Amino acid sequence: MTFQMAIASSDSRATQTRTLCLLLLVATSLAAPFFIYPLFLTKILCFVLFASALNLVLGYAGLLSLGHAAFFGGAAYVAAHSAKVWGFPFELAILTAVSFATLLGLVFGFLAIRLHGIYFAMVTLALAQMIYFLAVQMPLTGGEDGITAVPSGKLLGLIDLSNSLAMYYVVLLFVAFGMFMIWRTVHSPFGHVLAAIKENEVRATSLGLQPSRYRLIAFTLSAALSGLAGALKAIAFQVASLLDVTWHMSGEVVLMTLIGGMGTLIGPAIGATFVVALEHYLSTSGLPISFIIGVIFMLCVMLFRKGIYGELREWYLRRLVRET
Amino acid sequence: MIEIFGIPVAVLGGQILLGLINGSFYALLSLGLAIIFGMLNVINFAHGAFYMLGGFATWILFTYFGIGYWPGLLFAPFVAGSIGALMERLLLRRLYNVDHLYSLLFTFGAALALEGLFRHHFGSAGKPYPLPGELSGGYNLGFMFLPLYRAWVIIIALLVCFGTWFAIERTRLGAYLRAATENPSLVQAFGINVPLLLTLTYAFCVGLAGFTGALAAPIYQVSPGMGANLIIIVFAVVVIGGMGSILGTILTGLSLGVIEALTKVFFPTASAITVFIIMILVLMLRPTGLFGRER
Amino acid sequence: MGSEVKPVQLEVFDLHAWYGESHILHGMSLTVRRGEIVTLLGRNGAGKTTTMRAIMGILRKREGTIRYEGGDLIPLPPHKVARLGIGYVPEERGIFSSLTVEENLLLPPVIGPGGMTIEEIYDLFPNLAGRGRTPGTRLSGGEQQMLSIARILRTGANFILLDEPTEGLAPVIVDQIAASLRILKERGFTILLVEQNLHFASAIADRHYVVEQGCVVDEVANHALAENMDRLNSYLSV
């Protein structure tokens, strides 16, 4: 039995498995805060969204962006500032932050989108570093200290968000919405065109498509969702700091996507969970975090390029082929 | 006191000097980056880490073995080059056949790992490195004071840059390199051991970075993070210069160092992002860079 | 016509080769004796260039036997194959744009004795003389082809893989190249030639192999060409 036949015949079984997994996921995410510290889970959620947003350009559009921290951290600052200094209510702060991230994404994208592969990566990195330097120097951002004591406010004026359990469920809602948007985008005609462009840009162009335009849209959407993740994180943890805009952060989110599985929907979520949990564990152990993350990065690139989910899926499919 | 645009000449002179130093560092580092990218198609994110390795090699040599600056200047590129050669031969080489994304991510991980290791072991604080006796002091030029070490750094950096240019453009070995950049399999079919050539090229380029780190030690101190933020500016320098010509890369590095320094005098708050703003302007007008060629 | 049979210099037996998943060579077999000029004839896509690249070691995914002067070539990387005395003139000529004509000429290192001197090369290809400082790719197609052959002659290689030297060239240039190849044959070079131009091949070669779908389907001695013309044309027609 060939690979393709294995995939086809397992389709109905796969859909069943997938639906089961989805239900399991929903149940777990609803019940989790009663077993694990809600604030920790909220952090995981934010990075799940961030990594999934990056995956939209990295895994699906085939663009390596090394500057996504600019959207994440930048939106964090905007959300924090608008909530604390301008007194925006929760929803408005989030909206303002996401708008900022979208606009920034459009600008970065416009400058970089016609460049290819390596050049694109370098330019996004440099642009994000510019944001970092601005964040260091501008009084608005509080420099080395960042913005602290951000009020979490109330959702719709009713639900008090300083309650970490309530905050968790609100963030869960937003993240679920974000993931839904990504899922819809990938499986839409737009998403199919994007996949075609990624696979063979020359052929796509000869068919009359304009790759730059599609990539720009994907990039901007990715920036917007990254901004959503950053804004949520700022409000949930009531702080926005320089750590959110460093190139370390940009690199880490790429690692999350890579470790989990680029170009799959669930991969980045797995990767994000893995990395956040690992860092949490390492931070209390006295071991050098950067060093270990760096080594994991190198190991992953050399040996596990498909990521956790990717390798698992391949192993599962190979088993199917062998079974018959 | 003479003033130009309201700035005392001494201050201006001192800033331009600093700009030339930074510029020569930019030139040395972007040269290595550009060659590695041209020949191996790898964005060597670890370049900053090798710069840091060179600085630390020379500091360790002095602090633990009492061996001074001049041997250090040879030791640093040797250490950086050897580690680079090992890394290329054993690990990086396996990624040439896969998407170039992965070699970038690999070197990124290597940079994180090296930086993290050194930070864990040596702490984040900068470690001072003394000026070599022969190069301390300076000349009074009348309108400003010229520290001897700074003059030395600029001169040796320029010598090394132009030496590299000469080696690549005017020698047989350089011809092998240029040909291998265009068509590596054909060059190998002529009897030239191209894989070995790639390893040596990588080792040489990161050795250049290590050498720069040793040069920087007495000026900027030695710290695990010394390469990290610098390397991103160097990336921007490479994007601005384009990767089409060696001389172009050198010139771009030098000029940007000077421009950045002058900006610090006239628009201090914007100085850190000068290079990035120039990069944005260049990208809008000439996407392949000032001296770039369509690849 | 000597009665002694010259020794076999290159032997290819049951060679299979792949580009990725594509199985291109299906049991390719041929021999070339010292001092011969042997052609591989065939349509586009028959596997002639692939055979060259497989012999040279540029194409790595191979199974079968390739023996050069008794030694197995398959485990060797391309630069070691070259150093055994095999020179490669690729179909695309491979003149480097970032090198001058002189640098292009001097690029392949001398790998053995008996290579031609620069003067001898300029005698053979007068078009190249005096163009030393020109960037390589500024030469015309014919001149680039001459340069591509010339640089191999300096190295001391005596077995030359020559891939479609006359493609796209004017008849005058083609004649020049034919003349130079005849001189090379007199000097004892062995040449394995890929050609689609039957007229050119018949002017210089001793034997012809017909390649179709990755293996040899026929072999014709040059003196027997006339009788077999119809059969050959059916192999080569599109």
Compare B224 and B293 and report the one with higher pLDDT.
B224
Residue B30 belongs to what domain range? 3-285
Q: Are A43 and A237 in contact (CB under 8 A)?
A: yes
B91 touches chain A (CB under 8 A): yes
The CA distance from A321 to C122, in Å, is 63
Could C83 and B191 be called an inter-chain contact, meaning their C-beta atoms sit closer than 8 Å?
yes
Q: Are B44 and B66 in contact (CB under 8 A)?
A: no
Could C107 and B175 be called an inter-chain contact, meaning their C-beta atoms sit closer than 8 Å?
yes
pLDDT interval class at A4 (50, 70, 90): low
pLDDT mean across residues, chain B: 90
Q: Supply the DSSP string of B71-129, one letter for each residue.
A: HHHHHHHHHHHHHHHHHHHHTGGGGTTS-HHHHHHHHHHHHHHHHHHHHHHH-SS-B--
The CA distance from C127 to C163, in Å, is 21
Does residue B267 have a pLDDT over 90? Answer: no
Q: Supply the DSSP string of C163-188, one letter for each residue.
A: E-TTTT--HHHHHHHHHHHHHHHHTT
User: Mean of the pLDDT values across residues C168-185?
Assistant: 89
Give the best residue of C60, C61, C79 to mutate against chain B (max B CB count within 10 A). C79
Q: Which of B152, B199, B197, B181 lies closest to B246 in space, CA to CA?
A: B181
Q: Has residue B291 been placed in a domain?
A: no
Q: What is the pLDDT of residue A157?
A: 72
Q: Which of A127, A288, A293 sits opposite B120 (nearest CB)?
A: A288
Q: What residue in B sits closest to A248 (Cα-Cα)? A: B112
Does residue B223 have a pLDDT over 90? Answer: yes
Q: Which of B189, B207, B191 lies closest to B199 in space, CA to CA?
A: B207
Amino acid identity at A36: I
Q: Has residue B290 been placed in a domain?
A: no
Query: Dihedral angle at the C-alpha atoms of C181, C186, C190, C196, nearest 10 degrees?
Result: 30
The CA distance from A255 to A272, in Å, is 9
Start-to-end C-alpha separation, chain B: 52
The sign of the CA dihedral C81, C83, C85, C86 is: positive
B85 Cα to chain C: minimum distance (Å) = 20
The two structure tokens encoding residue C2: 């000597």
Give the best residue of B121, B276, B290 to mutate against chain A (max A CB count within 10 A). B276
Could B119 and A294 be called an inter-chain contact, meaning their C-beta atoms sit closer than 8 Å?
no
Burial A306-323 (b: 16+ CB within 10 A, else e): bbbbbeebeeeeeebeee
Compare C230 and C128 and report the one with higher pLDDT.
C128
Q: Has residue A323 been placed in a domain?
A: no
User: Mean of the pLDDT values across residues A17-35?
Assistant: 84
User: Furthest-apart CA pair in chain B: how many Å?
Assistant: 67
Could C79 and B192 be called an inter-chain contact, meaning their C-beta atoms sit closer than 8 Å?
yes
Are chains C and B in contact at 3+ CB pairs closer than 8 Å?
yes
- Given the structure tokens 């331009």, which residue do they identify? B16
Does residue C174 have a pLDDT over 70? Answer: yes
Q: Has residue A20 been placed in a domain?
A: no
Q: Has residue B295 been placed in a domain?
A: no
Q: What residue in A sits closest to B41 (Cα-Cα)? A: A118
Burial A127-143 (b: 16+ CB within 10 A, else e): bbbbbbbbbebeeebbe
B141 Cα to chain A: minimum distance (Å) = 35
Q: Has residue A302 been placed in a domain?
A: no
- The model's pLDDT over B149-186, given as tens digits with 9 standing for 90+, comes to 999 999 999 999 999 999 999 999 999 999 999 999 99
Could B105 and A119 be called an inter-chain contact, meaning their C-beta atoms sit closer than 8 Å?
no
Q: Are strands C159-163 and C190-195 parallel, antiparallel or unpaired?
A: parallel
Could B235 and A126 be called an inter-chain contact, meaning their C-beta atoms sit closer than 8 Å?
yes
Residues of chain B neighbouring A286 (CB-CB closer than 8 A): none
Q: Which of C57, C97, C109 sits opposite B192 (nearest CB)?
A: C109
Q: What residue in B sits closest to A67 (Cα-Cα)? A: B232
- Given the structure tokens 């060939």, which residue do they identify? A2
B189 touches chain C (CB under 8 A): yes
Neighbours of A172 (CB within 10 A): 18
- Given the structure tokens 């290595």, which residue do they identify? B32
Q: What is the pLDDT of residue B295?
A: 47
Give the best residue of A64, A114, A130, A198 to mutate against chain B (max B CB count within 10 A). A130
C79 touches chain B (CB under 8 A): yes
B194 touches chain C (CB under 8 A): yes
B245 Cα to chain A: minimum distance (Å) = 16
Domain count, chain A: 1
User: Mean of the pLDDT values across residues A114-124?
Assistant: 81
- Given the structure tokens 């005395």, which residue do they identify? C85
Does residue B127 have a pLDDT over 70? Answer: yes
Q: Are C198 and C236 in contact (CB under 8 A)?
A: yes
User: Mean of the pLDDT values across residues A218-225?
Assistant: 96
A70 Cα to chain B: minimum distance (Å) = 14
Q: Which of B25, B21, B1 lies closest to B11 in space, CA to CA?
A: B1
Q: Are B178 and C98 in contact (CB under 8 A)?
A: yes
Q: Has residue A260 been placed in a domain?
A: no
- Given the structure tokens 């320089």, which residue do they identify? A242
Q: Has residue A182 been placed in a domain?
A: yes
Beta strands in chain B (DSSP E): 3-4, 7-8, 138-140, 145-147
Does residue B190 have a pLDDT over 70? Answer: yes
User: Mean of the pLDDT values across residues C139-163?
Assistant: 93
B96 touches chain A (CB under 8 A): no
ipTM (interface pTM): 0.91
The CA distance from C174 to C165, in Å, is 8
The CA distance from B76 to B82, in Å, is 10
Q: Chains with 3 or more CB pairs closer than 8 angstroms to B?
A: A, C
Query: Chain B window 144-183: which residues touch C at a Cβ cutoff of 8 Å?
Result: 172, 175-176, 178-179, 181-183
The CA distance from C58 to C51, in Å, is 10
- The model's pLDDT over A279-321, given as tens digits with 9 standing for 90+, comes to 988 888 778 888 998 999 899 889 888 888 888 888 888 888 8
Could B179 and C58 be called an inter-chain contact, meaning their C-beta atoms sit closer than 8 Å?
no
Q: Chains with 3 or more CB pairs closer than 8 angstroms to C?
A: B
Q: Has residue B34 been placed in a domain?
A: yes
Q: Which of A225, A222, A218 lies closest to A97 in space, CA to CA?
A: A225
The CA distance from A28 to A43, in Å, is 16
User: Mean of the pLDDT values across residues B180-200?
Assistant: 94
Could C79 and B188 be called an inter-chain contact, meaning their C-beta atoms sit closer than 8 Å?
yes
Residues of chain B neighbouring C79 (CB-CB closer than 8 A): 188-194
DSSP state letter for A58: I
Residue A106 belongs to what domain range? 36-244
Q: What is the CATH number of the domain that holds B51?
A: 1.10.3470
B160 Cα to chain C: minimum distance (Å) = 22
Q: Which of C58, C96, C103 sits opposite B189 (nearest CB)?
A: C58
Compare A3 and A251 and report the one with higher pLDDT.
A251
Start-to-end C-alpha separation, chain C: 36
Give the best residue of A119, A256, A275, A306 to mutate against chain B (max B CB count within 10 A). A119
pLDDT mean across residues, chain C: 90
Q: If you count them, how many residues does chain B have? A: 295
The sign of the CA dihedral B111, B114, B120, B122 is: negative
Domain count, chain B: 1
Residues of chain B neighbouring A111 (CB-CB closer than 8 A): 280, 283-284
Q: Which of B109, B239, B269 sits opposite A126 (nearest CB)?
A: B239
Least confident interval from A140-144, B54-58, B83-87:
A140-144
Give the best residue of A65, A110, A118, A249 to mutate against chain B (max B CB count within 10 A). A118
Neighbours of B168 (CB within 10 A): 21
What element of type H or E holds A73? Answer: helix A69-84
C88 touches chain B (CB under 8 A): yes
Least confident interval from A99-108, A128-137, B21-30:
A128-137
Q: What is the pLDDT of residue C4?
A: 64
Given 3-state DSSP classes, what are the helix, strand and coil percentages for chain A, each rounded to the nearest 5?
75, 0, 20
B190 Cα to chain A: minimum distance (Å) = 30
Q: If DSSP codes are grouped into helix, strand and coil, which group holds residue B138?
A: strand
Q: Which of C82, C90, C94 sits opposite B191 (nearest CB)?
A: C82
- Given the structure tokens 């790998």, which residue do they identify? C111
Are chains C and A in contact at 3+ CB pairs closer than 8 Å?
no
Measured CA to CA in angstroms, residue C169 lies from A112, A242, B114, C166 at distances of 43, 64, 56, 6
A107 Cα to chain B: minimum distance (Å) = 11
Amino acid identity at C18: W
B123 touches chain A (CB under 8 A): no
Please give the backbone phi and psi of residue A81, each rounded to the nearest 5 degrees, phi first: -65, -45
- Given the structure tokens 């497989």, which residue do they identify? C54
Neighbours of C71 (CB within 10 A): 11
Neighbours of B91 (CB within 10 A): 16
The CA distance from A53 to A60, in Å, is 10
Q: Say whether pTM exceeds 0.90.
A: no
